[in-house]
């Protein structure tokens, strides 16, 4: 014997509130579509559309700089990142700052310091982080530009 | 007449009954699919917990080894990438697809009042699907063979087996529906029909597209659109169709309005198809196309609200049923997660919100709300309703049902909110806490899955056999239980 469990419905009409809600959503969706046609898609896998240059705060947060340099970047395990607009504050970076006065910070963060002869030691920032946490050149430039604004 | 000695049997030995390799009794296919689904539920949650934990400790939980084969060495890799592919495969294809097909094959004959035509083919499709999935899941950890994506791309032979299984399920469903000759079938069958066609069509396109040699960008875009289509057309469609059967059936009430149901179906069908365009986000795709998809995703809140309101109004007068364990509370939780996930998806389709959270764990958290929340609870409700009937057991709700409900609910809420919060909050130092929360949440869901597996085991082994009577909704005891009742 086949079990038959038909389901009845109390009424077949579409109530006014249901039709009204549906129409309101369709109108709102159509209006949203019509008023947001100017824009561009980012490359797939690239940065979100609303970002121009990478936001330094977002980069610093996602890369975990505060874990070593402190919540306000005044130093903890890692050195104080304030005053870098005047040049490197760490003794081991003085020579780098002399040799590359404009982009010493970019070189150090990227891990391409030529003074560090052993490539294995050129870890770059964030230290001890495995890919994909290494920063892109655009992110490094954004972070350095931000650090140079710190008092 | 000469006697054949080979056919003589001892008088007390029963005659041998030859069981067919592929069972064909009523509901054999539905039983196979639903049992497999529950087992895959456990596998999916285990992989999910491993995936979330690997986000925090990728090194200790990763493994890479070379396997010698007759054609060289193959790399066997357990890494966040491969485990992610395995998790989503087990979740969507293993748990949700098996449960969805089981629900379709259970509900369809009951709504039409006739047996499934070609039940053997339906049972065979269950075997083919699960054999293909097990092989595919093994290949996921051999990245030289399987491509990586949110839903892992299987080697072509396995794609063929799975496609064949989906085709067989489609054939059985449509053949049975057409043979029943109903002019306007019940709304559940409308959702099932479109969902089945979509699942087969999308899987075919996703499998065949790489064969024409597209660029990596085109492949990534196609995979994104496919994942979106699977979520909106297949998983959501079957889940809504299941709820449209379960809630009126479990409460004994008629459906509030067939008109709302059909309006919801029409809007869902159109908007879900268009929403796939929102996944085509690349510089090579005109922005107007992507925006059309985003607008469609925004408007998907309409069919979601219509379905939730229609079903909630169908429960009127029977709301006390949600206070006791059973089908109705599971279905109500599914409706709650459906509302939440639909709202979050709509909000996430706005340009400004996508810009903030579009490529963060926020998206994963919303997907977890949809998959582990709405769809999982709809199919758990299905399992709660169907298993005692399929296995012909008298089974009352036990603490295992409470554990399954609350562990899955708490786990889904914790995991989804943790990932959504992690996507919103960009402080990397606390990201580990969010990922830890996601791991804990998925672990809780695993506990719920384990409870469901144990529940199924006890239903089959411990519960007395009964035959369910549909007219009176009275469980008619048979065998020892009947003798005991007669003696009282």
Over the stretch A86-134, which tens digit does the pLDDT of each residue have? 788 777 778 888 888 888 888 777 777 666 655 555 556 655 444 445 6
From residue B49, how far is each of B89, B412, B417 by CA, in Å?
Answer: 14, 12, 15
Q: Residue A79's pLDDT band (boundaries 50, 70, 90)? A: confident
Instruction: Establish if A9 belongs to a structural domain.
Output: no
Above 70 in pLDDT, residue A67? no
Question: Which of A5, A14, A32 is the closest to B298 by Cβ?
Answer: A32
**Can the peptide bond before residue A132 be classed as cis, meaning omega within 30 degrees of 0?**
yes
Instruction: Give the per-residue pLDDT at B485.
Output: 40
The set of long-range contacts for B142-149, using a CB threshold of 8 Å and a minimum separation of 24, is: B142/B67, B142/B74, B142/B75, B142/B76, B142/B77, B143/B75, B143/B77, B143/B81, B143/B82, B144/B74, B144/B75, B145/B74, B146/B85, B147/B210, B148/B81, B148/B82, B148/B85, B149/B85, B149/B220, B149/B223, B149/B227
Chain A residues close to B427, C-beta within 8 Å: 61, 66
Question: Hey, what are B71's tokens?
Answer: 């054609």
Nearest CA in chain A to B288: A37
Chain B residues close to A58, C-beta within 8 Å: 426
Radius of gyration of chain A (CA): 27
Nearest CA in chain B to A59: B426
Under 8 Å between Cβ of B416 and B373 = yes
Interatomic CA distance for residues A35 and B89, integer angstroms? 38
Q: Any CB–CB contact under 8 A between A114 and chain B?
A: no
Question: Which of A9, A11, A49 is the closest to B351 by Cβ?
Answer: A49
Residue of B295, B310, B350, B469 to mutate, interface with A, max A Cβ within 10 Å:
B295
8 Å CB contact of A29 and B298: yes
- Please list, in sequence order, all residues whose beta carbon lies within 8 angstroms of the beta carbon of residue B215, skipping any fewer than 6 positions away: none
Handedness of CA B153, B157, B158, B164 (dihedral sign): positive
Nearest CA in chain A to B422: A62
8 Å CB contact of A29 and B295: yes
Instruction: Give the per-residue pLDDT at B473.
Output: 41
Instruction: Give the per-residue pLDDT at B209.
Output: 87
Regarding whether A90 and A39 lie in a shared domain, the answer is: no
Q: Any CB–CB contact under 8 A between A9 and chain B?
A: yes
8 Å CB contact of B111 and A5: yes
Regarding whether A36 and A61 lie in a shared domain, the answer is: no
Regarding whether A69 and A29 lie in a shared domain, the answer is: no
CB pairs under 8 A between A and B: 155
More confident residue, A135 or A49: A135
Regarding whether A41 and A64 lie in a shared domain, the answer is: no
Q: Any CB–CB contact under 8 A between B244 and chain A?
A: yes
Under 8 Å between Cβ of B423 and B436 = no
Under 8 Å between Cβ of B394 and B477 = yes
Helix axes B236-251, B301-314, angle to 10 degrees: 10
Counting Cα atoms < 13 Å in the Cβ hemisphere of B41 gives 33
Regarding whether A60 and A31 lie in a shared domain, the answer is: no
Interatomic CA distance for residues B405 and B427, integer angstroms? 33
Chain A residues close to B426, C-beta within 8 Å: 57-58, 61-62
Regarding whether A63 and A115 lie in a shared domain, the answer is: yes
Instruction: Give the per-residue pLDDT at B267.
Output: 96
Interatomic CA distance for residues B327 and B251, integer angstroms? 9
Instruction: Establish if A101 belongs to a structural domain.
Output: yes
CA distance A133 to chain B (A): 11
Instruction: Establish if A76 belongs to a structural domain.
Output: yes
Nearest residue to B99 (alpha-carbon basis) of B328, B380, B311, B408: B380
Interatomic CA distance for residues B381 and B294, integer angstroms? 31
| A37: three-class secondary structure by DSSP | coil
Regarding whether A137 and A67 lie in a shared domain, the answer is: yes
CA distance B47 to chain A (A): 22
Q: What is the DSSP letter of A129?
A: P
Regarding whether A94 and A31 lie in a shared domain, the answer is: no
Residues 67-106 of A with CB under 8 A from B: 67
Regarding whether A84 and A142 lie in a shared domain, the answer is: yes
Instruction: Give the per-residue pLDDT at B248.
Output: 95
8 Å CB contact of A45 and B299: no
Residue of A3, A59, A71 to mutate, interface with B, max B Cβ within 10 Å:
A3
From residue A24, how far is each of A16, A17, A18, B307 by CA, in Å?
Answer: 12, 10, 10, 16
Counting Cα atoms < 13 Å in the Cβ hemisphere of B22 gives 12
Q: Residue A29's pLDDT band (boundaries 50, 70, 90)? A: very high
Instruction: Establish if A34 belongs to a structural domain.
Output: yes
Chain B residues close to A64, C-beta within 8 Å: 428-429
Helix H, strand E, coil C: the string for chain B is CCCCHHHCCCCCCCCCCCCCCCCCCCCHHHHHHHHHHHHHHHHHHHHHHHHHHHHHCCCCCCEEEEEEECCEEEEEEECHHHHHHHHHHHHHHHHHHHHHHHHHHHHHHHHHCCCCCCHHHHHHHHHHHHHHHHHHHHHHCCCCCCECCCCCECCHHHHHHHHHHHHHHHHHHHHHHHHHCCCCCCHHHHHHHHHHHHHHHHHHHHHHHHHHCCCHHHHHHHHHHHHHHHHHHHHHHHHHHHHHHHHHHHHCCCEEEHHHHHHHHHHHHHHHHHHHHHHCCCCCCCHHHHHHHHHHHHHCHHHHHHHHHHHHHHCCCCHHHHHCCCHHHHHHHHHHHHHHHHHHHHHHCCHHHHHHHCCCHHHHHHHHHHHHHHHHHHHHHHHHHHHHHHCCECCCCCHHHHHHHHHHHHHHHHHHHHHHHHHHCCCHHHHHHHHHHHHHHHHHHHHHHHHHHHHHHHHHHHCCEEEECCCCCCEEECCHHHHHHHHC
Under 8 Å between Cβ of B370 and B344 = no
CA distance A60 to chain B (A): 8
Question: Hey, what are B169's tokens?
Answer: 């399920």
- The whole-chain average pLDDT of chain B stands at 84
pLDDT digits (tens), chain B, 488 positions: 676 766 666 665 666 666 666 777 788 899 999 999 999 999 999 998 888 888 777 777 777 777 777 767 777 888 777 888 888 889 999 999 999 999 999 999 999 988 889 889 999 999 999 999 999 888 888 777 766 556 767 888 899 999 999 999 999 999 999 999 888 899 999 999 999 999 999 999 988 888 888 787 888 888 889 999 999 999 999 999 999 999 999 999 999 999 999 999 999 999 999 999 998 888 888 899 999 999 999 999 999 999 999 999 999 999 998 888 889 999 999 999 999 999 999 998 888 887 777 667 777 888 888 888 899 999 999 998 998 888 888 776 778 888 888 888 888 888 888 888 777 665 445 566 777 788 888 888 888 888 888 888 888 888 888 777 654 343 334 444 444 444 33
Regarding whether A89 and A134 lie in a shared domain, the answer is: yes
Instruction: Establish if A123 belongs to a structural domain.
Output: yes
Domain span including residue A20: 15-45
Instruction: Give the per-residue pLDDT at B242.
Output: 97
Counting Cα atoms < 13 Å in the Cβ hemisphere of B50 gives 22
What's the domain count of chain A? 2
Interatomic CA distance for residues B230 and B91, integer angstroms? 12
Q: Any CB–CB contact under 8 A between B306 and chain A?
A: yes
Q: What is the mean pLDDT of residues A133-137?
A: 66
CA distance A134 to chain B (A): 14
Instruction: Establish if A7 belongs to a structural domain.
Output: no
Instruction: Give the per-residue pLDDT at A2.
Output: 66
Instruction: Establish if A80 belongs to a structural domain.
Output: yes
Regarding whether A103 and A29 lie in a shared domain, the answer is: no
Chain A residues close to B258, C-beta within 8 Å: 9, 11-12
Instruction: Establish if A137 belongs to a structural domain.
Output: yes
Instruction: Give the per-residue pLDDT at B133.
Output: 93
- Please list, in sequence order, all residues whose beta carbon lies within 8 angstroms of the beta carbon of residue B475, skipping any fewer than 6 positions away: B394, B466, B468, B469
Provide the β-strand partners of residue B465. Answer: B393
Residues 123-182 of B with CB under 8 A from A: none
Nearest CA in chain A to B313: A10
Question: Hey, what are B73's tokens?
Answer: 């060495």
What is the reported pTM? Answer: 0.77
Question: Hey, what are B238's tokens?
Answer: 């079957």
Under 8 Å between Cβ of A76 and A70 = yes
Nearest CA in chain A to B307: A18
From residue B6, how far is each of A15, B460, B464 by CA, in Å?
Answer: 73, 37, 38
8 Å CB contact of A6 and B285: no
- The whole-chain average pLDDT of chain A stands at 74
Question: Hey, what are B102's tokens?
Answer: 């089981």
Regarding whether A63 and A41 lie in a shared domain, the answer is: no
More confident residue, A84 or B487: A84
Give the rounded percent of residues in chain A with a pLDDT score beyond 90: 14
């Amino acid at each position: 014997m086949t079990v038959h469990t038909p389901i009845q419905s109390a009424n077949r009409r579409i109530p006014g509130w249901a039709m009204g809600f549906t129409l309101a959503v369709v109108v709102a969706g159509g209006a949203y579509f019509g008023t947001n046609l100017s824009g561009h898609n980012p490359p797939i896998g690239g940065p979100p559309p609303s970002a121009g240059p990478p936001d330094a705060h977002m980069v610093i947060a996602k890369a975990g700089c505060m874990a070593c340099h402190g919540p306000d970047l005044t130093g903890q395990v890692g050195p104080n990142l304030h005053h870098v607009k005047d040049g490197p504050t760490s003794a081991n970076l003085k020579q780098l700052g002399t040799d590359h006065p404009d982009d010493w910070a970019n070189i150090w963060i990227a891990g391409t310091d030529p003074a560090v002869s052993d490539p294995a030691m050129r870890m770059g920032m964030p230290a001890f982080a495995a890919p994909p946490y290494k920063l892109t050149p655009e992110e490094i430039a954004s972070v350095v530009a931000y650090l140079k604004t710190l008092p | 007449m000469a006697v054949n000695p080979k056919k003589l049997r001892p008088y007390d030995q029963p005659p041998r009954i030859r069981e067919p390799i592929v069972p064909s009794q009523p509901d054999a296919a539905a039983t196979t699919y639903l049992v497999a689904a529950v087992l895959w539920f456990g596998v999916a949650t285990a992989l999910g917990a491993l995936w979330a934990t690997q986000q925090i400790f990728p090194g200790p939980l990763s493994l890479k080894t070379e396997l010698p084969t007759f054609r060289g060495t193959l790399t066997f890799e357990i890494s966040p990438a491969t485990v992610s592919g395995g998790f989503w495969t087990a979740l969507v294809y293993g748990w949700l697809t098996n449960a969805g097909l089981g629900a379709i094959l259970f509900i369809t004959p009951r709504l039409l009042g006739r047996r499934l035509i070609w039940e053997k083919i339906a049972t065979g499709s269950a075997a083919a699907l699960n054999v293909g999935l097990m092989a595919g899941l093994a290949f996921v950890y051999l990245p030289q063979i399987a491509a990586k994506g949110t839903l892992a791309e299987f080697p072509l032979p396995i794609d063929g087996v799975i496609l064949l299984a989906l085709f067989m399920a489609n054939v059985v469903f449509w053949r049975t529906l057409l043979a029943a000759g109903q002019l306007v079938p019940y709304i559940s069958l409308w959702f099932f029909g479109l969902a089945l066609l979509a699942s087969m069509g999308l899987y075919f396109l996703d499998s065949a597209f790489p064969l024409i040699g597209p660029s990596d960008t085109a492949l990534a875009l196609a995979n994104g659109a496919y994942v979106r289509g699977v979520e909106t057309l297949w998983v959501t469609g079957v889940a809504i169709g299941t709820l449209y059967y379960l809630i009126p059936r479990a409460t004994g009430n008629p459906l509030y309005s067939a008109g709302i149901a059909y309006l919801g179906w029409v809007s869902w069908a159109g908007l879900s198809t268009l929403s796939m365009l929102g996944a085509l986000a690349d510089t090579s795709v005109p922005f107007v196309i992507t925006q059309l998809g985003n607008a469609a995703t925004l408007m998907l809140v309409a069919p979601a609200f219509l379905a939730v309101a229609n079903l909630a109004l169908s429960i009127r007068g029977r709301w006390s049923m949600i206070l006791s364990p059973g089908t109705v509370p599971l279905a109500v939780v599914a409706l709650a997660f459906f509302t939440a996930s639909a709202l979050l998806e709509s909000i996430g389709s706005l340009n400004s919100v996508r810009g903030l959270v579009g490529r963060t764990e926020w998206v994963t958290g919303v997907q977890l709300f949809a998959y582990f929340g709405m769809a999982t609870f709809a199919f758990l409700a299905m399992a709660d309703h169907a298993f005692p009937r399929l296995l012909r057991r008298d089974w009352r709700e036990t603490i295992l049902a409470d554990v399954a409900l609350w562990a899955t609910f708490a786990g889904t809420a914790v995991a989804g909110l943790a990932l959504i919060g992690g996507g919103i909050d960009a402080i990397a130092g606390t990201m580990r806490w969010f990922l830890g929360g996601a791991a804990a949440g998925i672990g809780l869901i695993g506990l719920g899955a384990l409870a469901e597996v144990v529940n199924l085991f006890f239903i089959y082994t411990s519960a007395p056999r009964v035959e369910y009577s549909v007219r009176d909704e009275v469980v008619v005891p048979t065998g020892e239980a009947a003798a005991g009742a007669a003696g009282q």
